[in-house]
Amino acid sequence: MMKRICYIVLLCLLTAMPLWAQTRINGEPSMRGLSSRHFTSRDIKRQRDSRGLFHSKETGEQHTFGFYGIGAYSNIFGGPDILKAKPGGYDGRFGMVYEYRQGLLMIQTGIGVSFREIRNNVGDMRFTNIDLVRFDPLWERVIDSWGTPLSSLTYTVTNRQDYLMQLHGQIPLLAGMHMYGFYIMGGLTFTFPFLQETTAEMNVTSRGSYDRYYGIGEGEWMEMDNHGYRELVPIKKRNDHTDKRFDVLLTLETGYDWTGRNGTHLRVGAYADLGLFNFSTRSAEPSIYFPYVSKWDFATFQTKPVWFSDAVGNYYLHNFSAGLKFTILFTFPGREKCVMCGLRDRNRKYR
């Protein structure tokens, strides 16, 4: 009889132990069986194991806020041969960021500012203005320093380099995952131009010709002007009124995330983005204007940035940046969500 009682007690203990073990969450046992609950800031998912018993799996949820900074090489690619994508420039960015983390998943957004400067070399150009006497009225003709009208004038532009400065507001929208300290994120960055300035620097050589010999009298020789000849005159023109272009950047970021004990995250990663929209406006205006004034002084030259001129043709230009990104994130302090609640908090959503 005693043996039967011992066998029954032993069988009850063996049956109750798995049920009691299921209620141990984060090392805190409860004697209330399957209905036991306690506080945690993590969501608990119940899953069945190979024996059909329930066990708990934790998936952490975090809300973080912080700051980022980017230092990158920047350029404009995709133009014709006359637009050489050298030497390029730099792009500096900084801003604030919010990130939501759920398990391995990360979703990030924020707001920032981008400041970049780019220089692109432009191929040599040659323009000829002919029949100035035939088509232009006398008061609009191109003349030499003596006031004598020229019949044609040829300009050769060399060593041209266009400069671009931009100040953008940016809103990133990225998603990714992290594992074993490494992370990868991708998405879109929306850019809104606030300020834009362009400058064109070049050397211009001109050669002119006359429709006839201009002397002071029959049979008398006179030294004529230099036929409009000027060699390698440096020209620098600033353009304040240029088209500002909204763009959407395809963004990719990957690197390593150091996590501190207090929930602080320090990240260092490689960063790159590519513009999806055409940077050029496909304007029909030339990148340099002839000086149609009464005197052919070089100061009368008017220029247009080569990216926004007819030199681009039907090509698509795209913004590109690649560099390093540094991010620091701080975990939001807050109330813990009551996922498995004890007796005193069984009717509360938060503790």
pLDDT digits (tens, 9 = 90+) for 125-179: 887 765 555 555 555 566 666 667 777 777 888 999 999 999 999 999 999 999 9
CB 193, CB 166: distance < 8 Å: yes
Q: Is the pLDDT of residue 292 over 70?
A: no
Cut 0.75: pTM above it: no
Above 70 in pLDDT, residue 239? yes
Which residues lie closer than 8 Å to 219 by C-beta, 6 or more apart?
none
Closest of 127, 156, 136 to residue 294, by C-alpha: 136
- Residue 199's closest CA among 233, 166, 167, 165? 165
Decide: 288 and 308 in contact? Cβ < 8 Å: no
The residue ranges of every structural domain in the chain are 62-215+225-331
3-state secondary structure at position 170: strand
Q: Which helix (H) or strand (E) holds 306?
A: none
Full DSSP string of 112-131: EEEEEEEEEEE--EEEEEE-
Given this model, what pLDDT does residue 231 score?
A: 78
